[in-house]
């Protein structure tokens, strides 16, 4: 029996600063990607897949420390856990060890996810603490940095590099070898996934080669990039008839983002805090329809088989999204086997 692993591409934003529209005196805040929105995919597929990692520019991504808050690891219960757990940390009697012991299942999941990061990605930077970051993270960040600093640096390919290699007949690399692409969120994709021609070219090339595409939380802003492609001379051009427009998109809604800007870590204390745009509005302005739910904290997926695009609305959806991705790939392979049997008759 063959032990050759199948292949998948993990695409991560390399942005490290998120620009703010307000307050005027704060141009940007430290940001990165959410490990929780990637780790479950690594866990689901690591036994039978080899992962290739890429960022838009080939620079190493930055882990957002705020995405390692214990409440985020409650997944479908994140919405209900976040504010109560933040209140627990504001008490004068707060003790970090007792707090972690009070939530052992969440601490265990975080530890599992960090070990996945250590196995697959190597040393990467960690975002700075923000004024409104949780107190537990102030204790956890130095621990995490010490662990990551012991690791060798990983390899992160750039999208221009991968596209160029795919087009080169002399290079064995091809997007057709990937079963799927997965991109985690965090706020970082708002910086380099929106209207990026090389990302557009990557997604169209993946679609043309039958690759399933999975985007979660803020990463679905990447669909705005499918309005453009890049020609053989490296020049961007507008796509006349965009097949991706058939896909309904699930992503972080404006109301959820406003909640975060008012109560959670992106907020500049004592100041009205605003981003330059909201992901769902940017996606809609690009001509896409949105899949929405009145319960913004509930998992919500959208799958469009014609372009093999799967999107999810945030960390609360990651377990369901990884399971759905597995189901899609299993169904695809079953159909391929059936087709081969039919042709062999």
Given this model, what pLDDT does residue 340 score? 57
CA dihedral (283, 25, 129, 79) positive or negative = negative
Three-state SS at 213: strand
**Bridge partners (DSSP) listed for residue 17:** 30
Half-sphere exposure (CA, 13 Å, Cβ side) for 176? 6
Q: Hey, what long-range contacts does 150-153 have (CB within 8 A, 24 or more apart)?
A: 150/123, 151/118, 151/122, 151/123, 152/122, 152/123, 153/60, 153/122, 153/123
Query: What is the pTM assigned to this prediction?
Result: 0.96
pLDDT score for 335: 80
Task: Give the sheet arrangement for strand 301-304, strand by strand.
Answer: 157-158, 49-55, 6-11, 178-183, 212-216, 309-312, 301-304
Blockwise average pLDDT, block size 10, the chain, 345 residues: 81 98 97 98 98 98 98 96 95 96 98 98 97 97 98 97 98 98 98 98 98 98 98 97 98 96 95 97 98 93 98 98 98 77 60
Cα–Cα distance, 241 to 86 (Å, whole number) = 47
* Residue located via tokens 């097949």: 243
For 6-344, CATH number?
3.40.50.880
Integer Cα distance of 97 and 101 in angstroms: 6
In the chain, what's the furthest Cα-to-Cα distance?
74
Per 3-state DSSP, the chain is made up of helix, strand and coil in percentages (nearest 5) of 45, 15, 35
Q: In the prediction, which pLDDT does 344 show?
A: 58
C-alpha–C-alpha distance, residues 39 and 50, integer Å: 14
Chain Cα centroid distance, residue 178: 18
DSSP 3-state of 217:
coil
Ranges of each domain in the chain: 6-344
**Which pLDDT does position 1 carry in this prediction?**
39
**Per-residue confidence (pLDDT) for residue 343, from 0 to 100:** 59
pLDDT of residue 208: 98
């Amino acid at each position: 029996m063959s032990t050759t692993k199948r292949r998948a591409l993990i695409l991560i934003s390399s942005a490290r600063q998120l620009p703010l529209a307000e307050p005027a005196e704060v141009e940007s805040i430290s940001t990165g990607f959410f490990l929780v929105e990637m780790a479950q995919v690594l866990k689901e597929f690591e036994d039978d897949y080899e992962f290739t990692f890429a960022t838009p520019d080939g620079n190493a991504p930055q882990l957002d420390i705020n995405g390692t808050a214990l409440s985020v690891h409650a997944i479908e219960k994140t919405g209900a856990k976040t504010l109560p757990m933040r209140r627990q940390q504001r008490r004068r009697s707060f003790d970090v060890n007792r707090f972690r012991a009070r939530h052992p299942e969440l601490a265990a999941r975080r530890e599992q996810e960090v070990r996945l990061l250590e196995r697959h990605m190597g040393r990467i930077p960690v975002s700075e603490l923000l004024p409104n970051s949780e107190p537990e993270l102030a204790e956890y960040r130095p621990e995490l940095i010490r662990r990551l600093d012991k690791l060798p640096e990983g390899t992160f390919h750039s999208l221009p590099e991968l596209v160029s290699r795919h087009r080169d007949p002399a290079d064995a690399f091809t997007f057709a070898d990937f079963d799927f692409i997965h991109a985690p969120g965090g706020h970082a994709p708002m910086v380099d996934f929106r209207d990026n021609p090389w990302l557009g070219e990557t997604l169209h090339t993946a679609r043309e080669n039958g690759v399933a595409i999975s985007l979660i939380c803020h990463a679905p802003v990447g669909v705005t990039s499918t309005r453009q492609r890049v020609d053989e001379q490296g020049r961007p051009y507008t796509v006349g008839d965009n097949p991706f427009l058939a896909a309904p998109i699930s992503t972080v809604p404006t109301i959820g983002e406003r909640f975060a800007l008012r109560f959670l870590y992106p907020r500049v204390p004592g100041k009205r805090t605003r981003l330059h745009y909201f992901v769902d509005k940017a996606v809609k302005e690009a001509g896409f329809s949105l899949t929405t739910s009145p319960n913004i904290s509930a998992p919500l997926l959208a799958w469009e088989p014609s372009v093999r695009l799967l999107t999810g609305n945030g960390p609360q959806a990651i377990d369901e999204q990884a399971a759905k991705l597995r189901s899609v790939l299993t169904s695809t392979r079953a159909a391929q086997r059936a087709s081969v049997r039919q042709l062999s008759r």
